[in-house]
Copies of this chain bind each other. A is one copy, B any other.
Amino acid sequence: MSPLTGAGNDRPATLADVAALSGVATSTVSRALSNPGRVNVLTRERIERAARELNYVPNSQARALTSGRTRAIAVLVSDVTNPFYFGIIRGTQHQLKAAGYTQLLVDTEESDELEDGTLHKLRRSFDGAILAASRLTDRRLTALAKEIPLVAVNRQTRGVPSVFIDTPSAIEQAVGHLVSLGHRRIAYAAGPATSWPNEGRWRALVRAAEHYGVEAVRLGPFAPRQYAGAAAADAVLHSRVTACIAFNDLLAIGMLPRFRERGVRIPNDLSIVGCDDIFGADFCNPPLTTLTAPIEQAGRTAVAMLLSRLDGGPAPMARQAVTLPTHLTVRDSTGPAPRTAPTAPTTNGVPTA
């Protein structure tokens, strides 16, 4: 018989059972189990023994009904398919479990309505939410933050606690790196218009380009998916640049085979920089130079902020906006600029798309 199984009982033990066995009132048991300090040491021990004997497990639904707290946190991602979120999920999962919370994972499928709707439908099923990539408007998000304890990742909006992964700063480093390799014209393969970090990355590129006196050209938008890489690669080849910074690694990784098909060698003919440093960025071919984001840490930090807020009242010590540093990781997809920008060969054995 497993120690975790009831002692052959039919129905799981309740507070009342524990109370009966230990000869106290249910309220005392409740206190002993949640506010151990506010109960006599001896009775508490007796109660704990009884609870163990009956293999008592609190019913979290019932607990939630009265206390209003579920000890569950909703984590909303815009696409479970995207490996970027796995870092986030890993971080949140770790931190939540440590704090005894359960994680409700929700995929909002890039839809703001689904995001808003789910948040409301599940409202009483969680104590707080982490929006890993909110597609909501600023207004809506601000309003929501007043109703629901939440922390947004990569989304800075007034009044909304957030964890910001500072990719823009790293973009400046990336541009410096490219400039030092002789690149003078750099493309940005943009992500979806609904993505908040997308604009910041482009602006950072523009700023850095101005600073270094080089050109920046914007391409896209492209879906933040591997399959969008082909279109992005073609666009790059038509833009007469010698280097490209992609909205994210997924897109960058998707571009690689397309360049190979078209006879464009990376990094000899063209340099590529990704963003995030997701799973796979280190072993794709060639390994990707990218802006390494502390993804997992972002998840952990978001949870820490949220929980401290839940425990410590509306606005505790915790800062309301945390910025996580990001750095350039140089691998093999960037190299010295070629004399001329590569173009799509029209007579290369490979037909142009």
Contacts and interface: CB of A to CB of B under 8 A. Distances in A.
Interface in A66-115: 70, 72, 80-81, 83, 86, 89-90, 93-94, 97, 102-107
A317 interface: no
A348 interface: no
A61 B60 CA distance: 8
A205 to B, nearest CB: 25
A257 interface: yes
Given A89-B80, A283-B256, A123 B62 contact: no
Contacts of A125: 60-61, 72, 102
A54 to B, nearest CB: 13
Contacts of A339: none
A15 to B, nearest CB: 13
A64 interface: yes
A57 B90 CA distance: 31
Interface in A259-295: 279-280, 283-286
Interface residues of A, number: 48
Contact of A81 (B59, B80, B90, B143): B90
Contact of A2 (B60, B62, B116, B286): B116
A158 interface: no
Nearest to A67: B61
Contacts of A86: 80-81, 83, 86
A116 B60 contact: no
A85 to B, nearest CB: 9
A4 B116 contact: yes
A60 B183 CA distance: 58
Given A83-B279, A284-B285, A57 B2 contact: no
